[in-house]
Structure 1
Amino acid sequence: MSKSVSQSVFITGASGFVGKRVCEYFLAKGLKVIGCGRQERLNIQHPNFEYHNFDLNDIKRYGYLLETVDIVVHLAALAHQSKHLNPLTYYQVNADCTKQFISICSEYNIQRFVYISTIKVNGERSLDEPFNEQHTPNPLDVYGRSKWFAENYVQDIAMEANMEWVIIRPPLVYGPGVKANFASLMKLIDMHLPVPFAAFLSKRSFIAIDNLCDFIFTCAFHVNAKNQIFCISDDDDQSTRTLIKALQIVRMGRAKLFNCPIILLKMACILLGRRAIFNRLSEPLQVDIAKAKQLLDWKPVLTFKEAVFKYFGVENKRKEMT
């Protein structure tokens, strides 16, 4: 099928925390963007933006949207785990829907398929050295395993169809509107309550939403990104202790960070059914982005300190309260 002269991008999960920002980033670069998501409407006013509300299970009905598309960025996924969800749901949404979607893409001569996976494909903790692309995948939870399945579908189907592919494995993404544990941590700081995490010194990798958007854009068009997997981060790892201190500073927080015996915190989390949260606070999960820097000549557009001040500073705190 023939393509339009101007490049256009199809972005799934466009109504999500990351998806909306990726849409805005590509639009700012002068591209036409077609987004789809579960949210009925998306507040992006731009002449080059087109939004469609549908579930990827219905992609066959909307395949015509891919007729003029050059690049696909696949962000749609079921991410936050819940004990109320059947584990099979993660495989159906993250793996099976991806398989069906890239199969449809292969029928429309898409040039490149960019899949946003997760560092959880590598594992939950990086004990001896930071994770990189050479490490054998070791996903330990249903979310990580479902994304690993999807990665394999992407590679197999894309290669069979002679379609270029890129897989990106980011760690926790933070920025305006972030939810889950990062948001809970900010609320705790804003309440000015004592925070008992001073003993958590193991470092973890994060990635600012601006850095992730810039890297996705790079992978969409850089010739050296073709058929590659990239582990990515801010390249500036933080411990739970330094993360909390940084948030305290930029939000003018007065909460006291104190040292509580880790064993007591572990027991409390287990009793409350929050063992996974304790692990994320206490265990290392670092990412080595040497491949991205060397192969793509890429570097983060924001440092961790710049990003935290930009996203969560006092001015933004006032906006959140209004």
Structure 2
Amino acid sequence: MKINITGSSGFVGKNLSDYLSVNFFSIEKISLRNLNWKNNLTGDAIIHLAGKAHDTKNTSHASEYFEVNTNLTKELFDEFLKSNIKDFIYFSSVKAVADEVPEILYEDINPNPQTPYGQSKLKAEEYILSKNIPEGKRVFIIRPCMIHGPGNKGNLNLLYSVVNKRIPYPLAAFYNERSFLGIDNLNYLIKEILQNKEIPSGVYNFADDEVLSTNKLIEIISNTANKKNLSIAIPKGLINVIAKFGDLIKFPLNSETIQKLTENYRVSNEKIKLAIGIEKLPNTARQGLEKTIKSFITK
């Protein structure tokens, strides 16, 4: 089975390409920067990973997100519709529909993205969903939550640095629940979609089975790195005062940082598991996180 993958040089793209290759798929890496990319679209499926990631420093202009995440996706999807390729898998994001999740995120949520990144992803989703899909083709919109794995540079790496440098984690007084997605579970889910033609087109959340608090995450990092857990429970009122002060002097422990570390963001994966016909994913959230943390230690 020949699979076209855009964004194959990124973290997810590289891991997914390697995984599918080992499982006897033929991988065609498509660069949308190549003016002749349309001539290379043949085979059985397109996995569209290329896009502009969320800029946490907020230095990117909004138009950049829409040019890449929306317009390029439209162009690629139009080519898919004209081609003989059977499957189109678009990697969107949970941020395309919700920046805050007070309860549990399901696929049928009323979208309300607040950032240009999320809005550009949603516009691409809406375009795909507005088209009539020819008989014999399938279209999947994937909304993953926070993806991690060996080689990934992100918030987990920052938390590992805090633990490794023996800096006390000061927010133990807060309790939250967050969903994660290990790269091994992501790879498994995509393989199942490609191989099982009974899985219907649709929008699917991707997440590990379990949710974890940031406190539990610090515990996992400490245990895996063989470091003492130095978490301290500074009273919430004092933390809020520190956060406001941090906003004024551009200190790392500011309101935005504290919100990200303490907010809930629970994502349901029941729809994709029901479609595949499984009760649990191959790896637990803890197993995936331990594998990621171990990769930081061996750098």
The two structures, once aligned, show a CA RMSD in angstroms of: 2.0
Counterpart of 1:309 in structure 2 is 290
1:266 lines up with 2:246 in the alignment:
no
CA–CA separation in structure 2 for the residues paired with 1:221 and 1:152: 26
Name which of 157, 166, 173 aligns with 1:192: 166
CA–CA separation in structure 2 for the residues paired with 1:182 and 1:202: 16
Moved over 6 A (4+): none
Counterpart of 1:51 in structure 2 is none
Give a deviation string over 1:143-190, Cα, whole Å, max 9, x none: 111111111222234626974200111110011122122211111111
How is 1:74-93 mapped onto 2 (pairs within 5 angstroms)? 74-81=48-55, 82-93=57-68
Counterpart of 1:173 in structure 2 is 147
How is 1:233-272 mapped onto 2 (pairs within 5 angstroms)? 233-260=207-234, 261=236, 262-271=239-248, 272=250
Offset, 1:318? 4.5
1:113 lines up with 2:110 in the alignment:
no
Aligned partner letter, 1:308: L
How is 1:30-179 mapped onto 2 (pairs within 5 angstroms)? 30-36=24-30, 54=31, 56-58=32-34, 61-67=36-42, 69-81=43-55, 82-127=57-102, 129-157=103-131, 159=133, 163-179=137-153
Aligned partner letter, 1:150: A
Could you state the TM-score of these two structures normalised by the residue count of structure 2? 0.90
Aligned partner letter, 2:298: K
Give a deviation string over 1:219-272, Cα, whole Å, max 9, x none: 233334332111121111011111111111101123510112341353255332
Counterpart of 1:223 in structure 2 is 197
Offset, 1:66? 1.2
> 1 or 2 for the larger relative contact order (CA 8 Å, sep ≥6)?
2
The change in CA–CA distance for 1:98 and 1:162 in structure 2 (over 3 A counts) is: farther
Aligned pairs, number: 291
Give a deviation string over 1:90-133, Cα, whole Å, max 9, x none: 11111111011111222322101001111112312221x21101
> Tell me, which stretches of 5 or more residues in structure 2 are unaligned?
none
CA–CA separation in structure 2 for the residues paired with 1:130 and 1:154: 25
Name which of 271, 274, 286 aligns with 1:291: 271
Could you state the TM-score of these two structures normalised by the residue count of structure 1? 0.84
CA–CA separation in structure 2 for the residues paired with 1:85 and 1:118: 18
Offset, 1:278? 2.6
> Tell me, which stretches of 5 or more residues in structure 1 are unaligned?
1-6, 37-53
